[in-house]
Amino acid sequence: MRIGVFGGTFDPVHLGHLIIAEQAREQARLDQVLFIPAARPPHKLAQPTAPFSRRVEMLSLAVAGHPVFRVDELEKDRPGPSYTADTLGDLHALHSDAELFLIIGSDCLPDLAGWHQPERIFELATLLVAARPGWEIVSPAPIRGAAPRIDKVDSPLIDISSRDLRRRIAAGRTIRYLVPRAVEAYIAAHDLYQASEK
């Protein structure tokens, strides 16, 4: 069993996320891709985010109908910050016979050394890295003797960010064709991202 792990705030999920996940699924021959929304993203603890339940519902709408994509609320009830190393450890315990692949963008690579227990991440998963506009895919230096296993994901360079989407919504601008139609309708129905420019 080859399981892709795609974590993030997904605030909101957008087409760039889905394109990267699908390209990773195909190229790495993944049997399943788990979208795991962060309950308490450590790098955004001081920033407001949409409620966890809303982000889960948007993700569920976005992946509906895909036979391999699934939303996993693994981080929902775990106390403290939502660390990738802990999530991979939990998944390894749940799927001890599976091979784990962590899906990330190339913009994350320079910061890997500062992540919580990066050597544990390298031990538990192969990194599937998709290029992001302005960020080359470079191999980070080994951390405490552990070096990451990296496979490149060839994917269209989609320059969409959740931050920009939130700003567009707050300014009353369109997000049509930047998010799945069901997610766009959900955001409108629940008045998400209206009050502030997050």
Show the domains of the chain with their CATH numbers: 2-156 (3.40.50.620)
Strands (E), the chain: 2-8, 32-37, 69-71, 99-105, 125-130, 150-153
CB atoms under 10 Å from CB of 10, counted, come to 24
Q: Kindly report, residue by residue over 11-51, the tens digit of the pLDDT.
A: 999 999 999 999 999 999 999 999 999 998 776 656 789 99
Rounded CA separation 198/189 (Å): 19
pLDDT score for 197 = 41
Instruction: Quote the distance between the C-alpha of residue 124 and its chain's center.
Output: 17
Mean pLDDT in residue range 57-61: 98
